[in-house]
Amino acid sequence: MSRARLSQRPLGLCESLAVYPPNEAPFKEANKLAQKYRVIKFEDLNVKGMVKNHHLAKSIHDAGWSQFISIVVHKAEEAGGQVEVVNANGTSTTCSRCGHKCRMPLSLRVYRCGNCGLIIDRDHNSSLNIEERKGRIVPSGRRRVAVVKEPRTCRSIVSDVAPQS
C-alpha cells in the first residue's frame, strides 16, 4: 500500500488493533484473575533453563512469564486470594481422569489416554492436572531490602516488615 492510501485508512481500525497499551495489558489480566478466583495456580516452570533454548528464548522473554506471575501474586494478595505454584512435571502427559502416563511429543495437541479412552485437548488436560495438585503458596515478596556496602563485599539485609510510606 502506498503512503497516501495508508493515510486515508479510518482511525477506528488502528485503534481496534491496540486494545491496551503494552504495559497495561498484564495488569488488567492479572486484576481479572484476582477478582474472579480465590486461588490461582501456575506451573513452576524453569524459565531460566527454558531461555537457554535459542529457538524459544525470544518468545519466552517477550511473554514476560515471571513478571506476569509476580503481578498476579500482588493483585491476588490485594483481593484477598493467593497464588500457588505446582510442579510442572508430567501435567500434560498424565491423564486427568485415571492418572495413566503417556509419552507424547509436543507437536501432538490432543491427549488420548490408552487406559480409560479419554480424548481431550492437551492444554485442557494439563490445566485439570494443575488444578488437582497441591502447590506451594507464593509470597508477595513485598519485603524491605537494604543494600549495605562493606569493604569488598555487598550483602542484602531482608526484613519481613512492609516498607513505611
**pLDDT per residue as tens digits for the range 96-131:** 999 999 989 988 999 999 999 999 999 999 999 999
DSSP 56-121: THHHHHHHTHHHHHHHHHHHHHHTT-EEEEEE-TTTTTB-TTT--B----TT--EEE-TTT--EEE
**pLDDT per residue as tens digits for the range 35-91:** 999 999 988 877 777 777 777 777 776 667 778 888 999 999 999 999 998 988 889
* Residue 119, CA distances (Å) to 67, 90, 104, 113 in order: 34, 17, 14, 7
Sheet of 82-87: strand order equals 39-44, 82-87, 136-137
- Contact (CB, 8 A) for 141 and 163: no
CA atoms of 142 and 83, how far apart (whole Å): 14
Q: Cβ atoms within 10 A of the Cβ of 94, count?
A: 21
Strands 82-87 vs 39-44: parallel, antiparallel or unpaired: parallel
Strands 82-87 vs 136-137: parallel, antiparallel or unpaired: antiparallel
CA atoms of 122 and 129, how far apart (whole Å): 11
pLDDT at 78: 92
pTM higher than 0.85, yes or no?
no
Q: For residue 100, give the C-alpha cell.
A: 495413566
